[in-house]
Amino acid sequence: MRFFDTNILVYAVDPRDSRKQNIACKLLSHALDVNHDGAISVQVLSEFANILRNKLHQSEERIEEYLSFFYPLLGTEVTVDMVRSALYIEKEYGIQYYDSLIVAAAERLGCHEIISEDLNDGQLYRGMLAINPFK
């Protein structure tokens, strides 16, 4: 299974970079329609809603439409155990806390890949391969 970081969802709805939008849309479409092998966490949805509101200036109605579209990918909420794990991951890999929480969520869901432009492309994080699809 593939875990999608927030930036993938953002690029899918943001037309300012058509190359990244096309790549993100293909990845998410495949995950939603073809083999249902994609996952996100509540953290991803929360960050996504925040970016839509504050950076892309979307209406609450439009934000809710986007969130509803991505709900089928929702695999986990953030738990206390994930917060604890994220603290160790942060130290282990020297990454930002919220990126480590992405890794913790992906690990909890048994993902084999993390699709993100924020993690080091090609690096293994607890056995999960980070892939930057925009390189």
- Which is nearest to 14 in space by CA: 134, 135, 101, 123? 134
In the chain, the domains with their CATH numbers are 2-131 (3.40.50.1010)
> In which residue are the tokens 């509540």 written?
42
Q: Pull the structure tokens for residue 109.
A: 């869901």
pLDDT per residue of the chain (135 residues) written in tens, 0 to 9: 999 999 999 999 999 999 999 999 999 999 998 667 899 999 999 999 999 999 999 999 999 999 999 999 999 889 999 999 999 999 999 999 999 999 999 999 999 999 999 999 999 999 999 999 999
74-76 and 124-125 strand pairing: unpaired
